[in-house]
């Protein structure tokens, strides 16, 4: 499988309005190649309470299939990873204070 260096995730509602969006960049670190997640957009007027779980599910499945780790930098994404310890194996550069 050829891995792209950029991956977009967009969720829309039935009216074709974006409810959430994020993208990943594949970067080379000294120790390994990882996906970096700079931001996670949640449309404040269009998303429901489960939106973060829906988009993060898509992200996690993709990252696991790529056999790489992810380095979330967005505070919402970091909070999500903190609340899901089962994702620790794919969390690159996890902060020590968690």
What is the per-residue pLDDT across 71-81, written as a single tens digit (0 to 9) for each? 999 999 999 99
Mean pLDDT of 38-59: 90
Token reading at 15:
């009216």
* Beta pairing, strands 33-37 & 69-72: parallel
pLDDT for position 97: 63
> Which pTM was predicted?
0.89
> What structural domains does the chain harbor?
6-90 (3.40.630.30)
pLDDT for position 98: 54
What integer best gives the mean pLDDT of the chain? Answer: 92
Q: Is residue 22 a contact partner of residue 55, using CB atoms and an 8 Å limit? A: yes
Q: Is residue 3 a contact partner of residue 66, using CB atoms and an 8 Å limit? A: yes
Q: How confident is the model at residue 49 (pLDDT cuts 50, 70, 90)?
A: confident
> Would you call 87 helix, strand, or coil by DSSP?
helix
Q: How far apart are CA 38 and CA 30, in angstroms?
A: 19
* Predicted confidence (pLDDT) at residue 29 exceeds the cutoff of 70: yes
């Amino acid at each position: 499988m050829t891995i792209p260096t950029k991956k977009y995730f967009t969720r829309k509602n039935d009216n074709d309005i974006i409810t959430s969006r994020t993208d990943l960049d594949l970067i080379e670190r000294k120790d390994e190649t990882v996906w970096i997640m700079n931001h996670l957009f949640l449309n404040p007027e269009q998303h429901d309470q489960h939106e973060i779980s829906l988009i993060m599910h898509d992200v996690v499945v993709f990252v696991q299939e790529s056999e790489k780790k992810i380095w979330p930098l967005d505070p919402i994404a970091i909070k999500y990873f903190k609340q899901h310890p089962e994702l620790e194996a794919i969390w690159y550069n996890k902060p020590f204070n968690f």
